[in-house]
Structure 1
Amino acid sequence: MLIASYNPAGMGDNLIVLTNNQTESFHINHQGNVIQFITDNSELIGYNFINISETLDLSNVSGQVFLSKEQVAELNKLIEKSGFSEKLVVDEDPKFVVGYVETAEPHPDSDHLQVTTTVIDNDQRVQIVSGSPNMQQGIKVVVAKVGAMMPSGLIIWPGELRGVASNGMISSGRELHLPNAPQVPGALILPDDFAPVGTPFDVNSAAAQSLFE
């Protein structure tokens, strides 16, 4: 997992790269222009790269950064130069995909949540708990997989809702910041012919931008 964010207006010339969720106490190690975040068990949480514009050209980016192999290689050079051994691994796995809700069952401890089995890319099935009032079996949806960063900045981690595991989020048009999307709760139900299940969903594509025209 590799989640990178660059927000020069709010955070200065710093690239934040996360490789794991912070679920326990951690240490901060600072060497030169690289700050490392690591757990007590020596598990890498991520890095903060200071003055990143000296290494990468991110002049047209504000928000999530999808790092290429070449960019990750440059970051790893900075990591090595700073004396850290925990390097970054390229993650080219799409984080937003067209999904199919195969099953939707009532949550055992909620009157408004449903527990879904949802098909994503590579014919993989994940359990996602959804509170969308229009959730039902047999619909195509947009799935924000574990490791996705929503337009709001929210990062999708593995979690639980009322004691039931949930790995991902079935997204609404509002949550995806799509033009003219209804500003009310409810999953974005895609047309059956929108794209095959597992196809990466690009929120900036013409097809996505025209969903609510």
Structure 2
Amino acid sequence: MLIASYNPSGMGDNLIVLTNQSTNFNVNHAGDVVQFIGDNDELIGYNFINISQSLDLSNVSGQVFLSSEQVEKLNTLIKKAGFTQELVIDDEPKFVVGYVEKAEPHPDSDHLQVTTTVVDNDERVQIVSGSPNMQQGIKVVVAKVGAMMPSGLIIWPGELRGVSSDGMIVSGRELRLPNAPQVPGALILPDDFAPVGTPFDVNSTAAQSLFK
């Protein structure tokens, strides 16, 4: 997993890279590189200070989709700072067209449903959803574990009322699509929108025209 963000107006000239989720970690600082390390030497991420001296991110504000060349440059900075745990590129799509194969009532909730949802590579994931229009047999947009929502929210593995949930079935409002209804509810895609597993690009013409 590799989640990078750059927000110069809010965070200065700092690139934040996360590789894992943890609330308990130690911080190691060497030069312009800050390492966050969890239990058992598990890498949580890095903060690269004055990153514009190494990478051109002048047209970026928000999530950064790092190329292999950029990851290589970051690893060079990591080595120069004396750290040994390098970054590994993650170019797997995090927003995909999904298919709700099964939707069952949550055992401890009167409004949540536990879904079995097909994503890319014919993988099935369990996602707990509170969308009032959730049902079996619909095409949806899935934010997989490791996705960053337009709001900045990162999708991590989690639980809802004791049931594990790996991902999020999202709404047009949460994706900030033009003219999306500003009410709760999963974005149900037309059957002919795209095959299950197709990456969903919020900026594509097809996505932008869903609510016209």
- Does TM, scored on the shorter chain, surpass 0.5? yes
Unmatched runs of 5 consecutive residues or more in structure 2: none
- The alpha carbon displacement at 1:19 in A equals 0.1
Tell me the residue number matched to 1:113.
Answer: 112
Tell me the residue number matched to 2:166.
Answer: 167
Q: How does 1:145-164 map to 2 (within 5 A)?
A: 145-164=144-163
Are residue 57 (structure 1) and residue 56 (structure 2) matched? yes
1:71-116 deviation digits (Å, cap 9, x = unpaired)? 0000000000000000000101000000000000000000000000
CA distance in 1, matches of 2:25, 2:151: 25
Tell me the residue number matched to 1:48.
Answer: 47
Tell me the residue number matched to 1:7.
Answer: 7
Q: How does 1:1-213 map to 2 (within 5 A)?
A: 1-23=1-23, 25-213=24-212
Counterpart residue type for residue 60 of structure 2: V
CA distance in 2, matches of 1:11, 1:89: 24
CA distance in 2, matches of 1:114, 1:167: 14
- The alpha carbon displacement at 1:134 in A equals 0.1
**Alignment identity in percent?**
84
Moved over 6 A (4+): none
Query: Over the residues paired in the alignment, what is the CA RMSD in angstroms?
Result: 0.5
Which SS does the other structure have where 1:41 is aligned?
helix
CA distance in 1, matches of 2:58, 2:176: 23
1:140-182 deviation digits (Å, cap 9, x = unpaired)? 0000000000000000000000000000000000000101100
How many residue pairs are counted as aligned between the two chains?
212
CA distance in 2, matches of 1:177, 1:207: 14
CA distance in 1, matches of 2:153, 2:25: 21
TM-score normalised over the length of structure 2: 0.99
- The alpha carbon displacement at 1:41 in A equals 1.8
- The alpha carbon displacement at 1:22 in A equals 1.2
CA distance in 1, matches of 2:110, 2:80: 54
CA distance in 2, matches of 1:113, 1:14: 39
- The alpha carbon displacement at 1:40 in A equals 3.2
CA distance in 1, matches of 2:65, 2:35: 20
CA distance in 2, matches of 1:144, 1:26: 26
CA distance in 1, matches of 2:22, 2:151: 19
Which SS does the other structure have where 1:77 is aligned?
helix
CA distance in 2, matches of 1:81, 1:57: 19
- The alpha carbon displacement at 1:53 in A equals 0.5
CA distance in 1, matches of 2:57, 2:180: 29
CA distance in 2, matches of 1:22, 1:61: 26
- The alpha carbon displacement at 1:200 in A equals 0.2
Unmatched runs of 5 consecutive residues or more in structure 1: none
CA distance in 1, matches of 2:51, 2:190: 41
- The alpha carbon displacement at 1:45 in A equals 0.2
Which SS does the other structure have where 2:41 is aligned?
coil
